[in-house]
Amino acid sequence: MPTTPEELEQIADAPHAEADDLAGTFALQGNPAPRPQAELDEILQKPGFGVHFADYMARATWTADAGWHDKQIVPYGPLSLDPAGAVLHYGQEVFEGLKAYVHDDGSLWTFRPAYNAARLNFSNYRLAIPELPVDDFLASIVDVVRANARWVPAKEGASLYLRPYIFASEAFLGVRAAAKYEYLCIASPAGPYFPNGFTPINVWVEQDFHRAGPGGMGAVKTGGNYAASLLPKVTAAREHYDEVLFLDAATNTNLDEFGGMNVFVVYADGRVRTPRLTGNILPGNTRSCIMQLLRRRGVDVAEDTLALADVIAGIKSGEVSEMFACGTAAVVTAVGSLTGADFKVELPTHEVSQSVYDELTGIQAGKVDDEFGWLYRIG
């Protein structure tokens, strides 16, 4: 299983099986009650984020004797889980996020899915969960998107958000890696992640709590990291902040990441920096692609240690011109202000953030040349 961010890049960029060769790996079961078309049309006009769920989901089970088996596309609906199911007690769970798009000619696509397949296994490794083969991951994406094709919104800026995840389902209360796991992939039509769209977000810089610490799970996509971000988020939301920026747990001085997104800092001299992957920071697919897009433009972009004090001083002096958040769900969202216990600074400019958003979403929508070969055709 991949254990370094470099391996995620290698797996993402290697050749992979095509959709037609993988299709049908997850056997389609009929849905007796698909969403009526008129209701669906209304949902697709204003999908929001993560509130409506498509007719079908992918599922599979892992046991030691049979490995991953029982791969199916089934109607979306409640799961049956033993109250002693290990995930409910010890949080042995990992997840991913990626999106499907429909292009103007009606073709269906997703974006660099092998990166997500590799990162799921990167997370699986850290949580002692069995590996899901890349081809099974890709097949589940192909099969779930094909089954839910009418749920992929055609509206500009919208997509079908895919949420693959694995959790420990063995009924057992001892603290050890479970002997049974479930894989699922659900699908949800998505508009902008933040309700105000590209409107710059107001950020609270958290200096009392951390989302992850050295040797912990900060680099992998597991629910616990997001759970750790919620109390600061609730407190910040009371003061009308849109998002929380976390500092590194070791020194409480350097930028780590937002509650669920990576961070970039843009300087007035044109250079762009993002925190280096210290082991506490999620190696974001969007983060990786943005660095590659900026490098192709000839921008000096690099990973670095970014001290909060330097960033604040840079914003005050004009040396820092922009900051933005990025992730699959949020794509690219400009930061309008940063506030902490004893400071508040504003970032009025968002040109680079906007141009990165335009280029990335243009590639995803099939309107800008996909020079890197990131698009993967589903159907």
Binding site for ligand COI (CB under 6 A): 97, 260, 327-329
d(CA 233, CA 248): 17
Given the complex with ligand COI, which of 92 and 328 has the nearer CB atom? 328
Chain mean position to CA 260: 8
d(CA 2, CA 133): 12
Q: What does the block give as tokens for 295?
A: 């490098």
Name residue 169's amino acid.
S
DSSP 13: H
Given the complex with ligand COI, which of 301 and 329 has the nearer CB atom? 329
To the nearest whole angstrom, how small is the minimum distance from the Cβ of residue 345 to ligand COI?
24
To the nearest whole angstrom, how small is the minimum distance from the Cβ of residue 327 to ligand COI?
3
Given the complex with ligand COI, which of 97 and 314 has the nearer CB atom? 97
How many Cβ atoms from other residues are within 10 Å of residue 175's Cβ?
9
Contacts of 62 (CB under 8 A, 6+ apart): 68, 69, 130, 166, 180, 181, 182, 183
To the nearest whole angstrom, how small is the minimum distance from the Cβ of residue 316 to ligand COI?
29
To the nearest whole angstrom, how small is the minimum distance from the Cβ of residue 165 to ligand COI?
10
Given the complex with ligand COI, which of 294 and 329 has the nearer CB atom? 329
Given the complex with ligand COI, which of 191 and 327 has the nearer CB atom? 327
Given the complex with ligand COI, which of 35 and 211 has the nearer CB atom? 211
- Do residues 120 and 94 lie in contact, with contact meaning Cβ atoms separated by under 8 Å? yes
Given the complex with ligand COI, which of 86 and 244 has the nearer CB atom? 244
Given the complex with ligand COI, which of 312 and 325 has the nearer CB atom? 325
Comparing CA positions, the residue from 143, 126, 315 lying closest to residue 223 is 126
To the nearest whole angstrom, how small is the minimum distance from the Cβ of residue 295 to ligand COI?
22
- Do residues 101 and 112 lie in contact, with contact meaning Cβ atoms separated by under 8 Å? no
Sign of the dihedral defined by the CA atoms of residues 326, 327, 333, 338, in that order = negative
To the nearest whole angstrom, how small is the minimum distance from the Cβ of residue 146 to ligand COI?
21
To the nearest whole angstrom, how small is the minimum distance from the Cβ of residue 160 to ligand COI?
13
To the nearest whole angstrom, how small is the minimum distance from the Cβ of residue 87 to ligand COI?
18
DSSP 254: B
- Do residues 107 and 173 lie in contact, with contact meaning Cβ atoms separated by under 8 Å? no
Name residue 357's amino acid.
Y
* SS3 state at 256: strand
Residue number with the smallest Cβ distance to ligand COI: 97
